[in-house]
Structure 1
Amino acid sequence: MTSPGQQGGAPAPSPAMFARPADDGQPAIDAIETALAELDDVRELPVSEHVERFEAVHAALTDALSKADNFLSGTSAHRS
């Protein structure tokens, strides 16, 4: 007789085999904080440089959100 979790005497696979590495989201939080820090001194910049700064922050936040979406959906997008 086989016990639950065993089929034909073969041991059941360990759930750890399917686990993803622990990720508490800290890299995304750090990226967001860094991006937002780029806005701290925007008042001191000439207005002509504001758009460039806002676009850079927007791109960084979009990237962080994309990585979070990929992590939550179980996919991985490798960028270089």
Structure 2
Amino acid sequence: MTVPLPGPPASPRPADPRGVDPRPAVEAALAALDELAGRPPAEHVEAFERVHAALGDALAAGSA
């Protein structure tokens, strides 16, 4: 039987050994969606496209 050690919970995903952590870019991209609440629907498509591109870039950076 293994007894857990006290302390903070382990990170759900370990940091990339190459030093590339895509999480800040993902958080920034998702935060941009919060700005849509007060914007006209006509502007949503462009915002979604920017967020989609930013998430794709973060994914590529994290797996490079």
TM over 0.5: yes
Q: TM-score band (shorter)?
A: 0.5 to 0.7
Q: Under a length normalisation based on structure 1, what TM-score does the superposition of the two structures give?
A: 0.54
Name which structure has the greater RCO, CA cutoff 8 Å, separation 6+: 2
Question: Which consecutive unaligned segments of at least 5 residues does structure 1 have?
Answer: 1-20, 71-80
Q: Which amino acid aligns with 1:23?
A: G
Q: Under a length normalisation based on structure 2, what TM-score does the superposition of the two structures give?
A: 0.67
Match of 2:51 in 1: 57
Asked if structure 1 preserves the Cα contact closer than 8 Å seen for 2:20 and 2:61, the reply is: no
Identity within the alignment, %: 48
Match of 2:19 in 1: 23
* Cα distance change, pair 63–37 in 1 and its aligned pair in 2 (3 A): same
CA offset digits 1:9-37 (Å, max 9, x no partner): xxxxxxxxxxxx75262xx1111111001
Consecutive aligned runs of 4 or more in structure 1 exceeding 6 Å deviation = none
Alignment root-mean-square deviation, CA? 1.7
Q: Distance in 1 between matches of 2:20 and 2:58?
A: 14
2:60 to 66, 71, 74: 66
Count of matched residue pairs: 48
Q: Distance in 1 between matches of 2:42 and 2:20?
A: 38
Question: Which consecutive unaligned segments of at least 5 residues does structure 2 have?
Answer: 1-16
